[in-house]
Each structure stands twice: as structure tokens, then as C-alpha cells.
């Protein structure tokens, strides 16, 4: 089943939560955009850091490698993914996860929405929803060399990932790894 291609994704959140909670790897807690601005607004903001990118990438990669040890999981993946192997699959999903987070942050900065903040408006609700599943587009593009997901599969993956991400956000907030619930 195609949704299994997204199973390593929670590895990003599971790896990132303790890093945030306990402020681990502080030397990498530097904005990816280096403070750069466009028309007076930050490109991505302080929440998109090298630490987050590295930890989330490694979390996905490790999750993919561990999941690949489970034959029922690995055998259920699309042929192209299995042919590429667990390391390539995990690396591509990791790259897609990190890259998929960036466009929404860029858009939110253009609209003047602070990192981690939301707006109480129809556009704000739409952006908050997009923020929950934005990694799907990044993963879809990153996996293109080994597997082509249909648009219908991408929509279903977005819904599933957004639902899991919402739950993860609430848990992260409850344990102190996030400042906001969503």
C-alpha cells in the first residue's frame, strides 16, 4: 500500500522532539536562511534551523532503515522503492521531509505570520492545515527518481500525514517540545 512510503516520517518528529525539549545540539540551532530577508521580511524565520533539518533527516533515515528490517513492511512497498533499497529510500524521504517544510514557511513569512504562529482567519486556517501536510509535496518530488505517486495518492497521503502530524503536535505541546498546539 502506497501510504507505507510515508511510515518513516514520524521518525523526524520523534527525533526532533527531545532535541527541542532539551535544547540538544545548540551549535546547530542556527536559521537556515542565515537571517536573510526579502522586502523586509525573513525568508524562513528562526524556526527553520540546521539542527532541525539534520535531526529530522536522520530521524526519517533511521526509521526507514529500521522499518526495512520488517519483511511485511518492506514487501508491501511499491517496487521502485524496494529496488532502490532502504538507505536510498530513507535518504529521499528525509530530504523530502526537510525540503517540504520550507515553502510553507516562506509563504507564511511573506504574509507576516511569525514562526510557530497562526492567524484566526480563513486564510490562516488554510495555512495551518497546509502546514500539517506540507511535507507530502516534498516527499512526492524527492521520491520521483524511484517511484511516481499519482495525484490521488498524494491527496490521500496529505490527509493521512496531516492527521498524524496534528496528533504529534498535540503530544509535542503536552511534553513541552512545542510552544503551540498546532
pLDDT at 182: 64
Quick check: is 180 in a domain?
no
Give the structural domain span for 115: 2-174
Is 108 part of a structural domain of the chain? yes
Q: What is the pLDDT of residues 44-60, one digit of tens each?
A: 999 999 999 999 999 99
In a domain, 179, yes or no: no
Contact 139, 103 (CB under 8 A): no
Find cell 498524524 and name the residue.
164
| Residue 147, domain member (yes or no) | yes
Q: Is residue 70 in a domain?
A: yes
pLDDT of residue 76: 98
Q: Which residues of the chain have pLDDT under 50?
A: none
User: What does each C-alpha distance from 2 to 73, 76, 109, 155 come to in angstroms?
Assistant: 11, 8, 33, 12
Q: What is the pLDDT of residue 99?
A: 97
* 33-55 b/e (C-beta count within 10 Å ≥ 16 → b): beeeeeeeebbbbebbbebbbbb
pLDDT value at residue 93? 98
pTM, rounded to two decimals: 0.89
Structural domains in the chain (count) = 1
Residue 97 lies inside a defined structural domain of this protein: yes
| pLDDT for res 55 | 98
Amino acid at each position: 500500500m502506497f501510504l507505507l512510503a510515508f511510515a518513516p516520517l514520524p521518525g523526524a518528529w520523534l527525533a526532533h522532539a527531545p532535541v527541542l525539549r532539551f535544547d540538544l545540539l545548540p551549535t546547530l540551532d542556527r536559521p537556515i536562511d542565515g537571517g536573510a530577508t526579502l522586502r523586509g521580511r525573513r525568508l524562513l524565520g528562526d524556526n527553520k534551523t540546521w539542527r532541525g533539518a539534520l535531526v529530522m533527516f536522520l530521524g526519517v533515515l533511521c526509521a526507514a532503515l529500521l522499518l526495512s528490517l520488517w519483511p511485511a513492511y518492506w514487501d508491501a512497498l511499491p517496487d521502485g522503492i524496494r529496488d532502490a533499497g532502504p538507505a536510498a529510500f530513507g535518504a529521499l524521504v528525509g530530504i523530502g521531509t526537510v525540503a517540504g517544510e520550507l515553502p510553507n514557511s516562506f509563504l507564511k513569512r511573506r504574509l507576516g505570520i511569525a514562526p510557530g504562529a497562526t492567524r484566526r482567519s480563513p486564510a490562516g486556517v488554510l495555512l495551518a492545515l497546509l502546514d500539517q501536510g506540507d511535507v507530502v509535496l516534498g516527499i512526492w518530488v524527492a521520491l520521483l527518481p524511484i517511484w511516481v505517486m499519482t495525484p490521488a495518492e498524494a491527496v490521500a497521503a496529505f490527509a493521512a500525514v496531516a492527521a498524524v502530524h496534528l496528533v504529534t503536535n498535540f503530544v509535542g505541546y503536552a511534553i513541552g517540545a512545542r510552544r503551540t498546539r498546532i
